[in-house]
Structure 1
């Protein structure tokens, strides 16, 4: 059986420091010690914080690129609104789109490299459904998984959505699924003999579990969902 990995304490520290810093900014602004336009500064602050969390959470190159794009985009918007750089929105938005495209290209190259290993013949290439690596940016996808050795993976939804149907799949022990939702949503359907454990953090978002607890002898099949739901939603049901 796969052993359960503990959550990265560095990530929890970043969340705590980010919340403390954001609370201090609100307090100083309310006391009149700072003059912040929260309508202007809140968006880049959220993007930078989300990018840092994504970089700390991910285990893939494309995830690091996505986190870097969020950090860079938030930083550029912040510097623009502070008047430290002179860049127009007509220039800024294309740069953000280029960054998103780079993330897609890096992911595609990583997947292609995994499928074209020199030692992998036609019969022993890895099944893409065993370990997932899905990214939805301003879009969405639906996918049905039927592998009998599901091991988890990583799903990122940024202003987009993902619907995953695992009802015909199976787990040998435990599987860990890392999720990252920013202004988007993820819906997952699981078999009735799976136990779902949510080990994540909703931040101005929500996680809704609507699964039926397994009856009879336990099957030992557990899906551990980890990650962050930021201003979005996630639902797991049978």
Structure 2
């Protein structure tokens, strides 16, 4: 099954309103009503971040961790979106828990990045977007207001000014190897998260004795 690709262009005024309403109309027939709640945090990150607050943007400086957060953050039956990741691997996303059958994919938002993200956030509870690069503080403030109004969660794979939470993968650690020999007994990913300026560090267990988390190598998680 393939991710659905959605084409959104820069729109203003009535055109933008019509685009948002069309998205909402399509989604109403596909997703279930769910109560508002803080998005759960995957991969044991609950030690560090007590849920990803809705109505805000969160910076996750690892694409794999961001995908895992998207998969965990989506309420049951809800649709989400991924913006600005043309090279995204469908199988890798599925392995990280992303329900690909309920994802709208906008691989090339171009200069309309802010309009696309804002429009999707008004229609969907969680949007994951690759950082567009340098962001003007005024643009970040305007998008933050739209997120608050829609009570939507924005996960940015990369830096984001004024992010409510910043999550960084620091390094992977393995136990069981001796002088390069032997078998890996267990592993952990060292993660640092900052909320309201307070940084916390946790070791997130990796699955089994394999250097992977849900099918994704630890080197990818740290990258």
State the structure with bigger RCO (CA 8 A, min sep 6), 1 or 2. 2
- Is the TM value for this pair above 0.5? no
> TM-score, normalization: structure 1?
0.27
Higher helix share: 1
